[in-house]
Amino acid sequence: MRAVVILSGGMDSTTAAFLAKKQGFDIIPLHFNYGQRTEKRELKAFNDICDYLNIKNKYVIDIPFFKQIGASALVDENISVPTDGIKPGIPVTYVPFRNGIFLSIAAAVAEKEKAKAIFIGVVEEDSSGYPDCREEFILNMQNAINSGTKPETNITIKTPLIHLKKEDIVKEALKAGVPLELTWSCYKEEDKACGVCDSCRLRLKGFEKAGVKDPIVYKR
């Protein structure tokens, strides 16, 4: 029973990977280098987690066109990553249709590998207004994938974290034995997490509400 896991190296995707293993899946991690600010650090986290799990069958795929498209602070150095708190609406860190493209590539890998599931660590609370983290979108993508693949492929997109609060994800991660010290969530920095971007704020709030100290190092 195989599953492709979209694994950025962040806390959420890593927890999703561990939950997939807990459910009995033989996981195939899939990572994307798409020109994001923390590309090297995310790749290190991905490889560290794969090494921790002793996984050899993994995919790292480069998607250079996201930088060419731009329109996001994660891939365009001319757009600043917000550090003044989470605000309503779709933030400038939204990468246009990123999860749709990730899921499309994951479907191709899953079909090749004869996997029956794709795990993705999307969280509606964490989406910060990202339209491609909504449950409705995921269900629509699942239907599209199964319409465009072989009948025997029949892929289910699994989102084990989608309705969880960040503090509940921290608790699930600890329960599943996730090495949180190996994960990376910061949008902005690659040496020490900035502590003030939206992703760092959500992560820190989750640890605080869970009553646990985050094991990674922050600048502030």
Q: Would you give per-residue pLDDT tens digits along the chain (220 residues)?
A: 999 999 999 999 999 999 999 999 999 999 999 999 999 999 999 999 999 999 999 999 999 999 999 999 999 999 999 999 988 889 999 999 999 999 999 999 999 999 999 999 999 875 567 999 999 999 999 999 999 999 999 999 999 999 999 999 999 999 999 999 999 999 999 999 999 999 999 999 999 999 999 999 999 7
The pair of structure tokens assigned to 124 is 């509606």
Q: Which amino acid is at 73?
A: A
The DSSP output letter for 218 is B
Location of structure tokens 């798409």 = 34
Q: What pLDDT score was predicted for residue 89?
A: 87
- Judge if pTM exceeds 0.95: yes
The DSSP output letter for 126 is T
| CB-CB neighbours of 122 under 10 Å | 24
| CB-CB neighbours of 2 under 10 Å | 15
